[in-house]
Amino acid sequence: KILILDFGSQVTQLIARRVREAGVYCELMPWDCGDDAVREFAPKGIILSGGPESTTAAGSPRAPQAVWDLGVPVLGICYGMQTMAMQLGGTVEAHDQKEFGYAQVRARGHSALLKDIQDHVNAEGHGLLDVWMSHGDRVTALPAGFKCIASTPDLPFAGMADEARRYYAVQFHPEVTHTTQGQALYERFVHDICGCGRAWTSGNIIDDAIARVRAQVGTGKVLLGLSGGVDSSVVAALLHKAIGPQLTCVFVDTGLLRLHEGDAVMELFANNLGVKVIRANAEERFLSQLEGVSDPEAKRKIIGKAFIDVFEEEAGKLKDVDFLAQGTIYPDVIESAGAKTGKAHVIKSHHNVGGLPAHMRMQLVEPLRELFKDEVRTIGVELGLPREMVYRHPFPGPGLGVRILGAVTKASADTLRKADHIFMEELRRSGWYDKTSQAFAVFLPVKSVGVTGDGRRYEPVIALRAVQTIDFMTAHWAHLPYDLLDVCSRRIVNEVAGVSRVVYDISGKPPATIEWE
Ligand code: XMP
C-alpha cells in the first residue's frame, strides 16, 4: 500500500484515484500527521502531494522525518518536489515567471520513473511529455545525490531523482488528465519502483469487505437505512452477500421521492435480490409537517428530523439489532477530517439518509469507508446491481422537498414527479443522461399565463436544470441541444396538467448552487 501525504492541493484526491486505478491500495493523510502515523501505516512507497503554500515561507509545511527514515521510495509532486528538495539540502526560490497550464517537458537521464514514457520524440531523439504545470516557486539547486530527469526551456529542473535512495520528483501534475502519460507515470512508480502488485481489484475489494464485515458482526444483527441511492444500495447488496438474513433494511418513503422510486427500490431489493426490507410509508407525515413551511432551511430541518423519527420508530420495532450500517465513502471521511479544521460557511444544512444521531448507540458497519465513488460503482455492478441504478445521478436526502420552491404540497410533488420523469426519459433517449452529472426538474410556485387552443392558462412554471461537474463543488450548466430542450418543453406542457411554461436554468455554480434551495 501507498501513503499519500496531503499538502493541500486541490487535486490530491486525484492522486489517490490514480494509484487505486493502478490496482494499488492507498490512503491520504495530512502532511502533519506525524512520524508515528507514517511508520504505523507501513507504506511500500510515499507520495508527497502538491499544495498552495510556498516552501520559501517561514513555517511552511514539511514532510515528517519518518518519510526519509523508512527507506521506501518517495515521489514528490509540485510542492512535494520542492519540500523534498528543501529537506534534503537543495534550494528553492520564488521566481517572477509563474507557470500555469500546458507545458512540454523533456525527459532526461534515463530515470526509472520516466524511461520510455513519452508523448513525442524530438529531432534529437529525446522523449517529450505533454504535462500540466502549476507553480510559482522552483527548485534552483538539486540536493546531493540527485540528477535532473526532466526540464522545459523555462524550467531547468522540472523533475529530479536520486535513484540510489529511490526518491523521485516532478514539478508538473501527473494526476490531472491534461498530463496524458500521468497514469503511466503513477503505474511506473507504484508497480516498478515500489514493487506493489495489482491486488486492488473489484473482486478483491468485495472479498476483503465481506471478510471484514463477517469478522466484525459475527452472528449479530445489522440495520441499514436504504435510500435507493448508490451508496446505501451497494452497502445493501454487499451486506446481503456477506451476512444474508442478519441484515434488515429500512426504506423510508418520504413522499418526496421521484416517480415510482419507492416501488422500484422494493422490486429490486425485496423481490429480486431477496433482501429483508421494511418500507415505511411516511408520505402523509412528511407532508403534514411541511405544510405551510416555505423557508428552505426550515424545510430541510423538518425533513431531516422526520426522517430520523420514522427511522428510529421502525428500528425500535426490531429486536436485538447490534449494528447500524452506513454508506459512508472515502471522500466523506476525507471531507469530515478536513471540516474539523476548516472554517467553511454553512451554505446549506445537508441531510444525508443514514446520517443518524449519536444517541442511536450501535456500533457502525461502514464497508465502503475506504472507497471512492467510482470504486463503489464498479463493485455495485459486480454485485449484480443494475448499471442504470449504479450510474444514477445523485439525489439529495431532502428529495423533492428542496426542488419544490416554497411550501410543499402533494399536488406540486405529483406535478414535479411527472415533469422530472419526462426530462429523465428524454435525457436517456438522447444519450445526454450520461453526459451530465446531475439533472432534474424544479417546481416554481409562480404562476404565468399561457394559452392552449382558445383557453387561457394561469399556472405554475417548471424549470429544468442539468449540470456538468467533477466534484459538485463547482459546476457548469450543461449545453443541452435546443432540440432536446424543445421536446422536453412540449412534452411537459402537453402531458403534465397544471404547468403553463418550461424554462431552462443557465446558472453556473458559483454563483448559483446546483439545487434551487
Ligand atoms: P448544492 O445545491 O449545494 O448541491 O450545489 C451540491 C450537491 O449536493 C446535493 N445536495 C444534497 N445531498 N443531502 C444530500 O444528500 C442534502 O441535503 C443535499 N443538498 C444538496 C445536490 O443534489 C448536489 O449533488
209 C-alpha vs ligand 1 centroid, how far in Å?
A: 28
For residue 476, what are the contacts with CB-CB under 8 A and spacing of at least 6? 467, 468, 469, 508
Is 507 known as a binding-site position?
no
Q: Is the CB of 515 under 6 A from ligand 1?
A: yes
Give the distance (Å) from ligand 1 centre to CA of residue 236. Answer: 22
Per the structure, the complete domain to which residue 79 belongs is given by 2-193
Separation of alpha carbons 378 and 397, rounded Å = 23
Is residue 78 among the annotated active site residues? yes
Quote the CA–CA distance of 167 and 69 in Å, as a whole number: 12
Q: What integer pLDDT is reported at residue 122 of this predicted model? A: 87
In a domain, 516, yes or no: no
Catalytic residue among 26, 99, 135, 175: 175
Same domain, 229 and 316: yes
- Give the ligand 1 atom nearest the CA of 437: 24
The burial of 107, by beta-carbon neighbours within 10 Å (0-12 exposed, 13-18 middle, 19 or more buried), is given as: buried
How many Å apart are CA 441 and CA 420, to the nearest integer? 5
Q: How far apart are CA 269 and CA 318, in angstroms?
A: 19
Cell (9 digits) for 426 = 428524454
Is 8 a domain residue? yes
510 lines ligand 1 (CB under 6 A): no
What is the spatial order of strands in the sheet that 222-225 belongs to? 277-281, 247-253, 222-225, 323-325, 363-365
* Residue 231 one-letter amino acid: D
Does the annotation count 173 as an active-site position?
Answer: yes
Q: Relative to the CA of 393, which ligand 1 atom is closest?
A: 24
Residue identifier of the C-alpha nearest atom 20 of ligand 1: 396
Ligand 1 centroid from CA 158, angstroms:
40
Q: Is 384 annotated as a binding residue?
A: no
Interstrand relation of 247-253 and 222-225 (parallel, antiparallel or unpaired): parallel
Distance of CA 208 to the CA centre of its chain: 22
Q: Which of 307, 472, 507 to mutate to test the pocket of ligand 1 (most atoms within 8 A of CB)?
A: 472
Among 193, 210, 236, the domain boundary falls at 193
DSSP helix, strand, coil percent of the chain (3-state; round to 5): 35, 25, 40
Tell whether 303 and 435 lie within a shared domain. no
CATH number at 271 reads 3.40.50.620
**Same-domain pairing of 185 and 264:** no
| Residue 244, marked binder | no
Residues 232 and 374 in one domain: yes
Does the annotation list 233 as a binding residue? yes
| Residues near 472 by beta carbon (within 8 Å), at least 6 away in sequence | 394, 437, 438, 514
Rounded Cα distance, 190 and 184, in Å: 10
Return the best residue to mutate from 349, 436, 515 for the ligand 1 pocket (most ligand atoms within 8 A of CB): 515
Last residue of a domain, one of 361, 390, 419: 390
In a domain, residue 512? The reply is no
Relative to the CA of 402, which ligand 1 atom is closest? 19
Of 378, 383, 370, residue with least CA distance to 25: 370
Find out whether the beta carbon of 350 lies less than 6 Å from any atom of ligand 1. Answer: yes
51 part of a folded domain: yes
Report whether residue 472 contacts ligand 1, using a CB cutoff of 6 Å. Answer: yes
Region of 34 (left: φ > 0; alpha: ψ -120 to 50; beta: rest) is left
As given in the structure block, the three cell numbers for residue 283 are 408520505
Same domain, 249 and 212: yes
Q: Quote the ligand 1 centre to 465 CA distance (angstroms).
A: 14
Q: Report the nearest atom of ligand 1 relative to the CA of 398.
A: 17
Looking at the fold, whether 18 and 155 belong to one and the same domain comes out as yes
Active-site option among 78, 194, 249, 488: 78
Q: Find all residues with CB under 8 Å of 511, minimum gap 6, and list them.
A: none
Task: Flag whether 517 is in a domain.
Answer: no
Domain count, the chain: 3
CATH number of the domain where residue 122 is located: 3.40.50.880
Specify if 130 maps to a domain.
yes
Residues 321/315, Cβ–Cβ less than 8 Å: yes
Q: Under the phi-then-psi rule, with left for phi > 0, alpha for psi from -120 to 50, and beta for the rest, what region is 109? A: left
Catalytic residue at 178? no
Q: What are phi and psi for residue 127, nearest 5 degrees?
A: -75, 140
Are the beta carbons of 251 and 227 closer than 8 angstroms? Answer: yes
Distance CA 90, CA 74 (A): 16
Q: Is the ipTM of this complex over 0.85?
A: yes
Give yes or no for residue 465 CB within 6 A of ligand 1.
Answer: no
Among residues 146, 182, 159, the alpha carbon closest in space to that of 107 is found at 159
Q: 47 and 183: one domain?
A: yes
CA 234 – CA 231 distance, rounded (Å):
5
CB 116 within 8 A of CB 127: yes
What pLDDT was estimated at residue 404? Answer: 98
120-121 and 127-135 as β-strands: parallel, antiparallel, unpaired?
antiparallel
Q: Is 336 annotated as a binding residue?
A: no
CA distance 320 to 33: 39
Indicate the top mutation candidate among 348, 351, 393 to test ligand 1's pocket, ranked by most ligand atoms within 8 A of CB. 348
Single residue among 193, 221, 240 that ends a domain in this structure: 193
Q: What is the pTM of this model?
A: 0.85
Q: Are residues 78 and 117 in the same domain?
A: yes
Nearest by Cα to 77 from 109, 39, 115, 46: 46
* 369 shares a domain with 448: no
| Ligand 1 atom index nearest CA of 351 | 17
- The protein residue with its alpha carbon nearest to ligand 1, atom 8, reads 396
Q: What angle do CA 450, 516, 260 make, to 5 degrees?
A: 80
The bridge status of strand 138-141 relative to strand 127-135 is: unpaired
pLDDT digits (tens, 9 = 90+) for 106-136: 998 889 999 989 999 988 888 999 999 988 8
- Distance (Å) from CA 398 to ligand 1 centroid: 9
Are both 437 and 372 inside the same structural domain?
no
Q: Is the CB of 514 under 6 A from ligand 1?
A: yes
Per-residue pLDDT of the chain (517 residues; tens, 9 = 90+): 999 999 988 888 899 999 999 999 999 999 999 999 999 999 999 999 999 889 999 999 999 999 999 999 999 999 999 999 999 999 999 887 777 889 999 998 889 999 989 999 988 888 999 999 988 899 999 999 999 999 998 899 999 999 999 999 999 999 998 899 999 999 999 999 999 999 999 999 999 999 999 999 999 999 999 999 999 999 999 999 999 999 999 999 999 999 999 999 999 999 999 999 999 999 999 999 999 999 999 999 999 999 999 999 999 999 889 999 999 998 888 777 655 444 345 555 665 544 555 566 689 999 999 999 999 999 999 999 999 999 999 999 999 999 999 999 999 999 999 999 999 999 999 999 999 999 999 999 999 999 888 889 999 999 999 999 988 888 999 999 999 999 999 999 999 999 999 999 999 999 999 999 9
State the CATH number of the domain containing residue 449. 3.30.300.10
CB 128 within 8 A of CB 107: yes
Instruction: Tell me how far the alpha carbon of residue 452 lies from the centroid of ligand 1, in angstroms.
Output: 36
Looking at the fold, whether 313 and 459 belong to one and the same domain comes out as no
Question: Under a CB-based contact definition with an 8 Å cutoff, are residues 126 and 151 in contact?
Answer: no
pLDDT at 470: 83
Q: What is the atom index within ligand 1 of the atom nearest the CA of 353? A: 15
Q: Is residue 401 part of a domain?
A: no
Q: What CA–CA distance (Å, rounded) separates 347 from 350?
A: 9
Which one, of 258, 349, 355, lies nearest residue 296 by Cα?
A: 349
Q: Are residues 372 and 295 in the same domain?
A: yes
To which H or E segment does residue 168 belong? strand 167-170
* Domain assignment present for 398: no
Tell me the three cell numbers of residue 479: 449545453
Q: Is 399 in the pocket of ligand 1 (CB under 6 A)?
A: no
Show the 3-state SS of 171-191: CECCCCCCCCCHHHHHHHHHH
